[in-house]
Each structure stands twice: as C-alpha cells, then as structure tokens.
Structure 1
Amino acid sequence: MSKFQELINGNKPVLVDFFSSIAGSGRSRDPLLNELKTEMGEKARIVRVNVDNNKHAAFTYGVNGVPTFILFKSGQVQWKHFGKTAKDEVSAILNQFV
C-alpha cells in the first residue's frame, strides 16, 4: 500500500489540497493551509498533492480542476470542494470529523 493510501485510510481526518504548479494556484493557498495546520495541530493532517506529478491520484479521486480540496477519513471521501474557499469554511468541515 502506498504512503498516500496509508495516510487517508487512517482514523485521523486528512485534508488533501490538489493543486497545480503550472496553474499558479499552489502558492496562493499557502497562508490558508498554514493557518489550518496550526489550528488543527495533531487532530488532522493537511497535505498537498501536485496533480502535474500525480496524475493517477487526481484521476482516481475525480479531480477535474484545481484547486480542489478533498477530506478523507478512514479511506472515505467526506467532503470535496473545487475552487477557492474561506478558511473558516474548511475549518468548520475539519472540526466535524476530528
């Protein structure tokens, strides 16, 4: 099993930010992700997946555009969002699953 599969199959919620360095969406979300990491601490994991380098993951999870957030818990997709979103919205979703 890949490290990614092990991560999303765990009991801890995992927020995955699918981004593209080509589209330029990657850096604009850094402050939001850093704030969420600080807020969540050890209660949740937040990871980034570059779809340019991980086309299989993007295909597997139906990522048709970037930026896309997907929240996993115990291997199941709990929430999926395409496009920009506010930190408060993402935080509220994460807190439902911690």
Structure 2
Amino acid sequence: MSKFGELIDVEIPVLLAFYNQWDANKTQTQHQNLHDVAATLGNKVKVIKIDVDKNKDLAEALRIKTLPTLIVYKHGEMKWRQSGEQQANDIIAKVEAYI
C-alpha cells in the first residue's frame, strides 16, 4: 500500500478507474472514455486503470463493490468517487474541478 500512497500523493489529480476483464462490453466503452479523458486533459491529470482481479487487496481496502468505479485523488486525498459507467465529458468536468 505504500506504493499506492506515493501514486496518489501528487500535485495533479489522479483518476483511478477500477474495472475487471470479464465484462468486455462495459470495459471497452469505459476504456475508450478514459482514453478520451487522458487525451483531452493531457498532463493535467494522471489516468490509471486498475484491474480489481489483479489488485484484490487494494479493491477491498477501498471498498470497491460496483464496477466500474472511478476515484479522483489529489495530494493523497480522495476528492470524488462514482460507481457505474460515466461519459467522457462528465468525467472531464469532474476532474477539471481539481486541476
């Protein structure tokens, strides 16, 4: 978990996107939305996709129950959290509030 602390304790917002591989339709759509967010915001945000099946301890520690779940951290503090698929423009608007 110490690496996780280092990952989220940065100046720019960090958007974590929790997903799993078995739901291909949702995963593909959400990955495209995240790609659009990263392309639009560039180096103003760090976008990180986290497979819950490969990161079970982290998912459990953050109480990830619904996929996808998006969380924004800034300076190590959780600023926003939303479960369920989100449109790229909605995600961009939420992240921009913390830039």
Give matches, 1:11-50, under 5 Å.
11-24=11-24, 25-50=26-51
| Unaligned runs of at least 5 residues, structure 1 | none
Partner of 2:71: 70
Amino acid across the alignment from 1:18: F
How far apart are the structure 2 equivalents of 1:93 and 1:65?
19
How far, CA to CA, are the matches of 1:89 and 1:36 in structure 2?
A: 9
For structure 2, which runs of at least 5 residues remain unmatched after alignment?
Answer: none
Counterpart of 1:54?
55
TM-score, normalising length from structure 1?
Answer: 0.91
TM-score by length of 2: 0.90
Report the Cα offset of residue 44 of structure 1: 0.6
Amino acid across the alignment from 1:81: Q
Check the 8 A contact 2:19/2:51 in 1, yes or no: yes
Letter in 1 for 2:38: K
Alpha-carbon shift at residue 84 of structure 1 (Å): 1.3
Cα distance between partner residues in 2 of 1:73 and 1:31: 23
For the aligned residues, what is the CA RMSD? 1.1
Equivalenced residue count is 97
Partner residue of 1:79? 80
Percent of residue pairs identical: 25
